[in-house]
Structure 1
Amino acid sequence: MFALESALISGWMSSVLWPFFRIGGFFLAAPIFGTQLVPARTRIVLAFLVTMILVPNLPAMPEMDALSIPSFIIVAQQLLIGIAMGFSMQLLLQLFVVGGQIIAMHMALGFASMVDPSNGVTVTVLSQLHLMLVTLLFVSMNGHLAMIDVMVESFYALPVGGMFISDNMLMELAGRASWMFSSALLLALPAIASLMVINYSLGIVTRAAPQLNIFALGFPSMLIIGLIIIYIILQGYVPLFDRFTREALDLMAFLVTP
């Protein structure tokens, strides 16, 4: 009869399961992989397959009793490391969602909202458009492979059983919320400035001809001109996307810097 020995279980956990928990935590929070469009079973299978591919190339894992308290602590650490790395990249896509909402509020499209199937929340139509475009750009530029590459390098920079993410790194991750809002404002700034000029012009027209109905004139004007402005500024999204992606990947690598 086949019997599992404690040493065999410990060796299996050290070589496979500990990397699996970090990679699984990463796939749980990372963009594209961590959305509601990807079933939980698919994410688990994908994380396991990636783990089995990477295990031969990873550094040696510490050996300890599989059922000891230090083992459970390491499991929790690996989950948190993976989730923190995935969340740092999630900020990249969300800044485009926030930027789309800022533009939509200025062009009278704030009421046009829909449910985002990837996150399960209600966002404006313009934010959903930005999210779809950015997701396609991210995949076409192999951003998902760059994320996995940084995650693999984290096993060398922050080995399993070694140091945990420092408090300064976690504070830096929390402080990146301000980076998300400032980057979203930078993304929406051309549209905001253009729409502000249109609003100012409509105010002058209303002052010069009070008999005009500003609501009947202003709403379709802002909507049509806003769509034209969006079409124009979309041409400058790729350089901004490249810049924001590099900053997000730098943050992801910075989190696991010893």
Structure 2
Amino acid sequence: MFELSDTQIGGWVGQFMLPLFRVAALLMSMPVIGTQVVPVRIRLYLSLAITLVLVPALPAMPQVDALSLQTLVLIAQEVLIGVMLGFALQLFFQLFVLAGQLLATQMGLGFASMMDPVNGVSVPVLGQFFNVLVVLLFLTMNGHLVVLDTLAESFTSLPVGEALSSEHYWAVATRLGWVLGAGLLLVLPAITALLVINLAFGLMTRAAPQLNIFSIGLPLTLVLGMVIVWVGLADIFAQYQVFVTDALQWLRELIRAP
């Protein structure tokens, strides 16, 4: 009769299940793969496949009791690490959405909104355009492969069973300001150009008060804003490279934090 001891079950749980929770937490929370567009079942299958590939190359896992409280604590730690990495990637994608929303508000296009199928909220069309653009660039430049490589490296630099320190939480908290600053920096030239246009309309109103500036100001601001966006897209790839390099480098530093 085939029998399994508690030690064998605990070894299997520690060797496969604990890494699975970290991988699954990342895939459930990261952009592109962890969105509502990808079914949960597909994400679960991907988590199982990635874990099966990673397990032979991972360092030795702790021996745990499958039904003990310590195992539940380790599972919670692994889920927290995966969610932390996914949230860090979400910050990078949201800076482009924020840039689109700021630009849409400045050019008077903030009222044109659509339902975001990924997040389930209403966002300006321009913000959704930047979101789709950065997703395509991220997949084209194999950013998802870099994320998986960082995930595999995290099992060595941040082994299973090692609790997160306060430096990890502080690193994530300080990055929230980076999103706002990077979003402003991304659209600063366009916002400056639109500000000059609005100042010109203000001077026209002072010079000719009888001119109905609102009837021509809004359409002209929209047209000129779209022209500015079209001109700015010529340099979007270079700006994307700077931000994605910074975000992925920060992701590697995050898993190496003391």
Q: Per the shorter chain, which TM-score range?
A: over 0.9
> Are the counterparts in 2 of residues 169 and 254 from structure 1 also a CA contact under 8 Å?
no
Q: Secondary structure at the match of 1:123?
A: strand
Alignment match, 1:79 = 79
Alignment match, 1:166 = 165
Q: Any gaps of 5 or more consecutive residues in structure 2?
A: none
Note the aligned Cα RMSD (angstroms): 1.2
> Are the counterparts in 1 of residues 13 and 64 from structure 2 also a CA contact under 8 Å?
no
TM-score, normalised via structure 1 length: 0.96
CA–CA separation in structure 1 for the residues paired with 2:101 and 2:43: 29
CA–CA separation in structure 2 for the residues paired with 1:171 and 1:28: 23
Q: Secondary structure at the match of 1:88?
A: helix
Q: Secondary structure at the match of 2:32?
A: coil
Alignment match, 1:133 = 133
Q: Deviation string for 1:186-212 (max 9, x for gaps)?
A: 001011000001001111112222222
| 1:64 partner letter | V
> Structure 1 residues 244 and 184, CA, compared in 2 at 3 Å: closer, same or farther?
same
How far did residue 34 of structure 1 move? 1.0
Alignment match, 1:28 = 28
Q: Determine if the alignment matches structure 1 residue 59 to structure 2 residue 70.
A: no
- Aligned-pair identity in percent equals 46
CA–CA separation in structure 2 for the residues paired with 1:182 and 1:188: 10
Alignment match, 1:42 = 42
Count of residue pairs brought into register by the alignment:
257
How far did residue 153 of structure 1 move? 0.2
> Are the counterparts in 2 of residues 96 and 127 from structure 1 also a CA contact under 8 Å?
yes
Alignment match, 1:14 = 14
Alignment match, 1:152 = 152
Alignment match, 2:218 = 219
Alignment match, 2:205 = 206
Q: Deviation string for 1:144-184 (max 9, x for gaps)?
A: 000111111000001112x2221122112012111000000
Moved more, 40-49 or 17-26: 40-49
Alignment match, 1:181 = 180
How far did residue 78 of structure 1 move? 0.4
> Are the counterparts in 2 of residues 165 and 256 from structure 1 also a CA contact under 8 Å?
no
